């Protein structure tokens, strides 16, 4: 019996165990998203590809050590993003030249390994197989135990709701609420200090009766976390990770409350919020179990680069803008909360200040001159869209209108303390209200509570 176990462990199982370990590692990051069919089918596909690679390397290199070549191939595909980050590249700015150089290096490593391993005694392979099999089995066991421990903890990932944090009143006039979020739109003070840009939008909004909130902040310089703080009524607890954040946003306690108060939620954004589907999948965050598995891999990055081009981003913004104009022109029989998430001035920069298309060379987050020009130009384009909306449509004047960023600019060349936590914010309320109290709000996520406290719908 002992000999049979030894013989079993001395075979090349480790290429298959490597895939199982990776699958378990990615799965336990957030267990509630787990889907058996996806996991099973992907692992079967992995086994089939691994078997083909083993057979190929047995013929092209060496039978005894073929598994080493397979592991090198899979590792270069599944961990390329992590390797790039270890080498100092920013996630959003990994250039195509890195991938070319990296896979040339992998190819050279495979050739060198073929030369070296052919000189190794085949008897050593049995002990190497046993060592790697045992190691990866232990790793799989650790991940499996960790997953079983965290299965019951998904409730801790959901932001807890304060009993009376955001509860719109049931009496009085129920006005439509229009919240337009401009992604990565920094406060005017930040724009002045970091980009030497004097924002003309302040004057435009004040002319239309908006109250500016120049000192307001967000606790989280990240879109997903910032939105969770708003829609789940509590910014004192953050989701454990992005996967948990996506799930928490789908539940959105604030949306559940306003629906009970008779409001209809219109979701014009790239996130599923409060049970309402997104307009289009443009968030860049993993929203499914499959996304969770491939995020950070070569496959995930290639899909992301294909989806998030400047042309597609521009098409999304145009579609959303037209949908917003149509929605504002409607005369529904029920009050609405219209949530609008424009991907402006967030990258990719697809328009200049005059609305013309932008063609950019390859750049990194440290190319301050180019980014400053493109960011402010794209921001001015966004300003023009909103100004055109306010000037041409009059239906917004009987609504509560909130225009904010989710956070400030986050580029690596910015040294200004707190720049990323100071978004733009302005509010229009038809009724009389306490302007001083509004301007004293500290966080974006306090705005809904302000509406409740002042008897506004």
Three-class SS string for the chain? CHHHHHHHHCCCCHHHHHHHHHHHHHHCCCHHHCCHHHHHHHHHHHHHHHHHHHHHHHHHCCCCCHHHHHHHHHHHHHCHHHHHHHCCCCHHHCCHHHHHHHHHHHHHHHHHHHHHHCCCCHHHHHHHHHHHHHHHHHHHHHHHHHHHHHHHHHHHHCCCCCCCCCCCCCCCCCCCEEEEEECCCECHHHHHHHHCCCCCHHHHHHHCCCEECCCCECCCCCHHHHHHHHHCCCCCCCCCCHHHHHHHHHHCHHHHHHHHCCCEEEEECCCCECCECCCCCCCCCCCCHHHHHHCCCHHHHHHHHHHCCHHHHHHHHHHHHHHHHHHHHCCCCCCEEEEEEECCCCCCCCECCCCCECCCCCCCCCCHHHHHHHHHHHHHHHHHHHHHHHHHCCHHHHCEEEEEECCCCCCCCCCCCCHHHCECEEEECCCCCCHHHHHCCCEHHHHHHHHHHCCCC
pLDDT score recorded for residue 157: 46
pLDDT score recorded for residue 171: 40
Q: Mean pLDDT across the chain, nearest whole number?
A: 89
| Residue 456 pLDDT > 70 | no
Name the band, by pLDDT with cuts 50, 70 and 90, for residue 380.
very high
| Residue 12 pLDDT > 80 | yes
Q: Contact 188/406 with Cβ under 8 angstroms?
A: no
| Residue 170 pLDDT > 90 | no
Cis peptide before 247 (omega within 30 of 0): no
Q: Contact 396/390 with Cβ under 8 angstroms?
A: yes
State the Cα–Cα distance between residues 30 and 251, nearest whole angstrom: 16
Name the band, by pLDDT with cuts 50, 70 and 90, for residue 105.
very high
- Pairwise pLDDT comparison (124 vs 265), residue with the higher score: 265
- φ, ψ of residue 346 to 5 degrees: the values are -65, 150
Q: What angle do helix axes 242-251 and 223-231 make, rounded to 10 degrees?
A: 30
Domains of the chain: 2-153 (no CATH), 158-453 (3.40.720.10)
pLDDT score recorded for residue 4: 67
Name the band, by pLDDT with cuts 50, 70 and 90, for residue 3.
low
Q: Contact 423/407 with Cβ under 8 angstroms?
A: yes
pLDDT score recorded for residue 158: 45
Interval 334-342 mean pLDDT: 95
pLDDT score recorded for residue 449: 83
pLDDT score recorded for residue 172: 60
pLDDT digits (tens, 9 = 90+) for 135-166: 999 999 999 888 777 665 554 544 444 433 33
Interval 44-56 mean pLDDT: 96
| Residue 254 pLDDT > 60 | yes
pTM above 0.85, yes or no: yes
- Pairwise pLDDT comparison (243 vs 185), residue with the higher score: 185
Burial class (CB in 10 A: 0-12, 13-18, 19+), 433: middle
Interval 389-408 mean pLDDT: 93
State the Cα–Cα distance between residues 312 and 306, nearest whole angstrom: 9
pLDDT digits (tens, 9 = 90+) for 289-300: 999 999 999 999
Q: Contact 248/228 with Cβ under 8 angstroms?
A: yes
pLDDT score recorded for residue 414: 93
Interval 40-51 mean pLDDT: 97
Interval 356-384 mean pLDDT: 93
State the Cα–Cα distance between residues 95 and 392, nearest whole angstrom: 42
pLDDT score recorded for residue 151: 61
| Residue 349 pLDDT > 90 | yes
| Residue 205 pLDDT > 70 | yes
Interval 421-438 mean pLDDT: 90
CA angle 392–397–403, rounded 5-degree value: 85
pLDDT digits (tens, 9 = 90+) for 209-234: 999 999 999 988 899 999 998 998 77
pLDDT score recorded for residue 121: 84
């Amino acid at each position: 019996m002992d000999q049979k176990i030894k013989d079993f462990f001395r075979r090349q199982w480790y290429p298959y165990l490597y895939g199982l370990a990776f699958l378990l590692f990615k799965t336990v990051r957030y267990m509630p998203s787990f889907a058996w069919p996806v996991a099973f089918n992907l692992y079967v596909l992995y086994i089939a590809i691994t078997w083909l690679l083993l057979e190929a390397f047995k013929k092209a290199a060496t039978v005894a050590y073929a598994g080493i070549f397979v592991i090198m191939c899979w590792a270069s595909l599944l961990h390329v993003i992590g390797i790039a980050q270890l080498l100092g590249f920013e996630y959003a700015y990994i250039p195509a030249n890195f991938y070319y150089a990296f896979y040339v290096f992998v190819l050279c490593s495979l050739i060198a390994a073929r030369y070296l391993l052919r000189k190794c005694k085949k008897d050593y392979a049995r002990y190497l197989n046993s060592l790697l099999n045992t190691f990866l089995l232990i790793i799989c066991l650790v991940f499996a135990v960790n997953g079983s421990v965290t299965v019951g903890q998904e409730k801790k990932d959901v932001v807890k709701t304060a009993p009376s944090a955001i509860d719109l009143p049931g009496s009085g006039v129920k006005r439509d609420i229009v919240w337009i979020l401009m992604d990565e739109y920094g406060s005017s003070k930040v724009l002045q200090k970091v980009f030497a840009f004097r924002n003309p939008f302040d004057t435009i909004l004040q002319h239309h009766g908006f109250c500016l909130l120049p000192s307001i902040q967000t606790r989280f310089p990240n879109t997903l976390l910032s939105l969770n703080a708003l829609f789940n009524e509590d910014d004192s607890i953050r989701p454990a990770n992005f996967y948990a954040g996506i799930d928490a946003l789908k539940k959105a306690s604030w949306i559940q409350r306003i629906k009970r108060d008779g409001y209809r939620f219109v979701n014009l954004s790239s996130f599923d919020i409060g049970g309402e589907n997104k307009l289009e999948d443009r968030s860049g965050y993993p929203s499914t179990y499959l996304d969770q598995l491939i995020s950070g891999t070569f496959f995930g990055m290639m899909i992301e680069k294909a989806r998030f081009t400047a042309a597609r981003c521009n098409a999304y913004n145009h579609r959303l803008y037209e949908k917003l104009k149509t929605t504002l022109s409607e005369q529904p029989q029920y009050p609405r909360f219209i949530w609008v998430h424009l991907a402006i001035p967030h990258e990719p920069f697809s328009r200049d200040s005059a609305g013309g298309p932008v063609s950019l060379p390859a750049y990194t987050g440290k190319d301050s001159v180019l980014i400053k020009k493109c960011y402010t130009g794209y921001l001015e384009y966004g300003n023009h869209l909103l100004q055109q909306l306010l000037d041409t449509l009059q239906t917004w004047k009987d609504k509560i209108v909130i225009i904010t960023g989710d956070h400030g600019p986050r580029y690596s060349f910015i040294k200004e303390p707190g720049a990323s936590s100071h978004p733009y914010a302005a509010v229009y309320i038809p009724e009389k209200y306490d302007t001083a109290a509004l301007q004293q709000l500290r966080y974006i996520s306090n705005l809904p509570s302000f509406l409740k406290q002042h008897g506004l719908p």
